[in-house]
Amino acid sequence: MSSVPLPAEELAALRRRAYGPDADIGTDSVAQARLEELERDYAVRGRAVPDGASVDSDAASEDATPALSQAGPPDAEVPGRMRRALPLIAIGASVVAVIAVGALGFERLNRPQPAARLEALADVPRGTAVPLVDPEDLRTWGVIEPVFVSYGEYGALDAWSMSGSPGRQCIVVSVGGEVAGIHCTTPGIDTFVDILSLNSWMPEAPEGGSIPLESTIRFVLRDDVIDVYVGRIDKSPD
């Protein structure tokens, strides 16, 4: 009996670190590279890769089978602990994805739905007066030459977008040409204006039922649409 050459002992030790019950080679890139080098060397020589620390030299020379070992080729192997952890990682990722989708769905279900959606019109409707914005308001928002786009009406309230202020987008709500509300913001956040409801301004049959006096009507400008939200005031006694 003779001892196995040093490379074989080193290979056996590295294999125990890679495929054994206490595998720890996953964090040692130098050891991983050395393991691949030794396994390639044994495969080229046509010798079986040893699983123990020593073997009979005569038996080793007679065994010229080019197979590596029952553990499989190095490129197909994942170190023991890493291999056992992969299913858990996949399950964890799936659970996170399900939670994220569920949270998004819950948010959508609980998000207020618009009572009306007004789309930008190519022309101002016949009989609709363009809002007369106070020059002081125009100076406040940096509007030089206002350009209005009509989005139609909600009840007696006419909705408009107003351009002419560099770096800002503006929304205007008017009644018969008189401004009831105006607001401008920089792009990227909601541009909206809130109007306190009056009975004479409200639609005859609004979605969701009648709108009590002093409720809040919110107009939100989003690109080519203005969404209208209704916050009905509750005047019932406590």
The answer to whether position 45 is within a domain reads yes
HEC sequence for the chain: CCCCCHHHHHHHHHHHHHHCCCCCHHHCHHHHHHHHHHHHHHHHHCCCCCCCCCCCHHHHHHCCCCCCCCCCCHHHCCCHHHHHHHHHHHHHHHHHHHHHHHHHHHHHHHCCCCCEEEECCCCCCCCCCCCECCHHHHHHCCCCCCEEEEEEEECCEEEEEEECCCCCEEEEEEECCEEEEEEEECCCCCEEEEEECCHHHCCCCCCCCCCCCCCEEEEEEECCEEEEEEECCCCCCC
Digits of tens for pLDDT over the chain (238 positions)? 445 456 778 888 888 887 887 788 878 888 888 888 888 877 766 555 555 444 444 444 444 444 444 444 454 455 555 555 556 566 666 555 555 555 444 444 456 899 999 999 999 999 999 999 999 999 988 898 899 999 999 999 999 999 988 888 999 999 999 999 999 998 888 899 999 887 778 887 677 778 888 899 999 998 889 999 999 888 766 6
Number of domains in the chain: 2
The answer to whether position 189 is within a domain reads yes
User: Which residues constitute the domain of residue 53?
Assistant: 6-77
Last residue of a domain, one of 49, 77, 105: 77
Q: Quick check: pTM over 0.85?
A: no
